[in-house]
Structures are given as structure tokens and as C-alpha cells.
Structure 1
């Protein structure tokens, strides 16, 4: 055996031993690179494909807007801006949760060093962008017709439509309701309170009688004839059923079941549909009232800001809509709802309260 050739033999054997490993390394390098490119491409495609549906779903859920109301969801998504859109709609709700958590921490500790950061984050994701504006100190909301939308059966078949986050326009203490009084035309202006579970419990099972001035709410009587504007009608409902009964109700701004008083300052002349919709808890003023009661029953230690503002057109005596704002102390409810004072199949003269069948 030639001892001088031994190192070369060992070297060749070593190379043969390493060859499979080099092949695996080269194979892995080529395939990992190819695979990574495919993963990145797939991720980009998935992200772009998810942008619109994710923003639509989260825009509706995070802002309490019905997913069957695309126009309002588009308005809400637009109001939150491009950064929130590019975050698949996650930026706004996440920053909102962080903001509520930091406020709770600061309230508990008395420290205030997160405010600037969370405010900046909220600005970035559009949480501080108003979806709707207030026209005056009475919180008459500026909509398409000097403060109101026309009722549209396709977008609000049950006479109530969620439109944005709540506007908290009145200072109220827990367990109390404030009333805005009457304007120079004798019209009810607003009512607002911070509702507690105890108020709901105290109102359960009975209904306080209307005050002596309840018949004096504007529109209940025709100002020309002095006679009642009310009468019995039949109305087609969105669920295929029909309502037969009186055209108008004395409609509470803050419901009796939430502790609202049955007095003139808390009542408006409202159609039956404005008051309860199809009477299923999902329409008219009953829509927000049901949400409020259910929330407080399930969260008895929380409070709920609740305000209702009738919106009149110029000198008309019957409101076209009522704007309801609700915001819970834990932030889980934050919504503004437009309730329409209309009735399918009938035309209302809002200057006198008279009505006629179409």
C-alpha cells in the first residue's frame, strides 16, 4: 500500500461523503428562494383580495352599522381614511380599544402620559374624524335636507337606520334625565340622560300615565282646525304583516322603560312606525330602546348615555326624523341612529300634521 497516496484517497472519500450534503444544500437554496417568492406573491394577492371585504365587514361591525346597509358602511370606511383601510379595517377598532384601556388606566392611577400617544394613533386611523356634523347647539344634525334624510324603504324598511358613532352633546349625571324644553314654536327640542340599570328596573312592569299637557305637543292637533290629527289606518310592514291602528302615537324621546317622563318636553307627535316600527323591537324608536334595555340588564354596573333630538324642517311642527345617540360607559355601544317619522303608503303635511293616503 502506497502511504503517500493515502491522504488523497481520504480526500476523495471525504468529497464523496459530502457530495450528497452539497446537493441538498444547493437544492434547498434554490427551492427555498422559489418557495419564498411564491409565499410573498400569495400573501400580496391575499392581502389585496381581502382589503375590500375586510373593511366592509369590520367597518360595519366596529361601527354598529348593519351589513345590509352598504351606503352607510362606505361612508364610515371613508371617514376613517386610507391608513385604516390599508390596515384591513383593524387599525380603528384596535386603536379604539387601546385608547379606552389607557383612559381607564389613567382614570384609576390619576396619571396622564398616554393621552398624546393614543390621540395621535386615533387621528392616524381616523377615530377622531366626525362622520356627521352638528349644525347648532341643540345638536340638530346636518344631513341631506337641512338636518334629515328622506325615508327610503330600501335602506330603512323598519324606519330606523344606524348612521355613525354617537355624538355626546349634553352633560348628564348617572341616574338622571335632562329635558331641553320647548322652542319659540312650542316644539320639543331634546332629551338626554345617563341611564342606569336601576332606572330600567324601576320602570319595568308598569307605565306612567301621560301628563295633562301631552295633547299639547305640536302636531297632535291641527293648528288650523283645532281638532285631533289622529285616525285609524292600515299600514304594510316590512315583514309582510300589516298594522291596523292609529296613525299617530305620543312618542317618547327617552322611553318610559328607560325612565323617561310622560310630559310634553319628552314627547313628539310620531307615526306608529316612528314609535315602534313593526313592533318587533327592531324598528322605530323601539330599536334603540331595546338595545339600551338589553345592555343594561346584561351589564347592571355600567351606564348608558342616551339622547334623542327631533329634527324639524324650518317652521314645521312635526319632526321629520329623531336622532338617537347612545354610548355606553364601557365603549361597547357607540352609535347614532336616525329614526324616520314617516309611514308607508301615506303623505304627511309636517306643517299641520294632516295626512292622506297615497
Structure 2
């Protein structure tokens, strides 16, 4: 059972870090080609997929590994992976149905009954899909969404997550020099005693945050890019156009370590 107050408290930033679901498999960078849209996703094949999402349950959604399953990237957010895309398919479709109800009924005392049922076959450790039932207590919202856990063109062994996807090289040969530049700039930032907003190479610092220069971004290993981060060594620093060309997309939400 979900309440509006839980939704309100979760708005603005991610409330925790996803937990590894039981039997979390080896996870590699892959390219997933979507025949219907002609688009290609570059990034990790698997996500730690919420059964009840952060946007609905907030910090409570991170209290148990049982709230997470091993889901493919399309299972988690759908097939629309390009820059600026809403990424509102997959499990996000059910979450957005609930979010839309809260937006239309702010501060309501009605609740949402939200149930996700992962579908396993025999002793497999990865679900073949999930059925999400979403119903508000006033019955204005009443829907069931079936989400398939697969990736187009990739054969998955659901017993342990093994697959036939060809590994994808995340960044080109310039990544080493870019990463070295990031490290150098970070060292300058940490050693600098200048005032807030002081320039450190192509970056600036603003308190505990490192801010990308105009046209530059910090790209995470999950192919999301940000304009401000707290630990720049954990990201690839490159131009926004290069990040987009490599398949990365701007993060829709920030957290305590990174801001879009």
C-alpha cells in the first residue's frame, strides 16, 4: 500500500543505492539494437530492477534485496534509450501510472495498492517477466501491466543470467587520456584553496561539487551523464556530443553524488 506522502518525500533525488538481487549475475557492457525504433542502447545489460520503485516508496524501497530482481535494461525502462527520451516503458510504465495519479490528486487520503509479481520458471534465478497490478482505493486508477524481461537479439539463460551478447567497448581509445585529465583536474581541485567557483583546468569547484565546463559532462558506467558530481574520478569526462554519440543519455534524476 502506497501513500501520497511517500511519493512526495521521494521527489527530487534518488533516495538510496540499488541492492544486488539474489543471484546477481556477471554484468557486461553490451549494444542492444531495437528493430522497431532503429535505435541502439549502449550500456550494461542488467539493472538492479525495483519491484516497487524509488519514486513511489522512497528510502523504504532500499530496505530489502527482495524488492530487487535482475532485469534487462529494456525491462527496467523500455526501449526508448536516446538522449532526451522519457524512458517510460518497462517497469517505469507502471510507476508512471501511479505517479500520474498522485499528480492529479495531491495530498489525497486515498492510497494505491501496488503489487509486482515476478514470474520465475522452475528454479531459475531471473524472472522471465513481471505482472504489476496498480489500483487506487477510489478505483480511479485500476490497471495491470505485464513486463517482459528480455533484450532484443540477445539469448538469455534465466537460470544464471549467462547470455550470448557480444561485449561492447564503453569508450574509445581517448578515454585513457580523458580519465587521466580528469584525475589531474581533480587533484588540482582538492589542492586548491581558492574561493568557491575557482577554476580547475576545464572544471570548476562549487563547495564539494565539481562542475563540468560548458559543453562537457561526466559520464557514469551506466551511460548516464551529469553536469555536477562529487567524485569526478568515478566518471568519464568528455564533451556532451561525444557522450551522446557513444549512446549515453542525460540523467533524469540526481542524487547525493551527481546532478543532471
TM-score by length of 2: 0.56
* Larger helix fraction of residues: 1
Residues 1:312 and 2:112 aligned together:
no
Q: Which runs of 5+ in 2 are unaligned?
A: 81-85, 167-260
How many angstroms does 1:281 deviate by? 4.4
Q: Which has the higher relative contact order, 1 or 2, with Cα contacts under 8 A spaced 6 or more apart? A: 2
Residues 1:283 and 2:81 aligned together:
no
**SS of equivalent to 2:91:** helix
Residue in 2 aligned with 1:196?
Answer: 3
Partner of residue 233 from structure 1, selected from 30, 38, 55: 30
Taking the aligned partners of 1:219 and 1:235, their CA distance within structure 2 comes to 23
Coordinate RMSD, CA, aligned: 1.7
Residue in 2 aligned with 1:254?
Answer: 52
* Larger strand fraction of residues: 2
How many angstroms does 1:247 deviate by? 0.2
Partner of residue 293 from structure 1, selected from 91, 96, 99: 99
Deviations 1:67-106 (A, max 9, x none): xxxxxxxxxxxxxxxxxxxxxxxxxxxxxxxxxxxxxxxx
| 1:324–1:338 CA contact under 8 A, matched in 2 | yes
Comparing 260-269 with 283-292, which one deviates more in the overlay?
Answer: 260-269
Taking the aligned partners of 1:333 and 1:318, their CA distance within structure 2 comes to 29
**SS of equivalent to 2:98:** helix
How many angstroms does 1:200 deviate by? 1.1
Tell me which structure has the larger Cα radius of gyration: 1
Q: How many residues matched?
A: 155
| 2:22–2:65 CA contact under 8 A, matched in 1 | no
How many angstroms does 1:219 deviate by? 3.5
Residue in 2 aligned with 1:353?
Answer: 161
Taking the aligned partners of 1:281 and 1:335, their CA distance within structure 2 comes to 20
Deviations 1:263-286 (A, max 9, x none): 301100100011111353441000
Partner of residue 267 from structure 1, selected from 60, 68, 78: 68
How many angstroms does 1:209 deviate by? 2.5
Residue in 2 aligned with 1:92?
Answer: none
Q: Which runs of 5+ in 1 are unaligned?
A: 1-193, 222-228
Matches within 5 A, 1:33-44: none
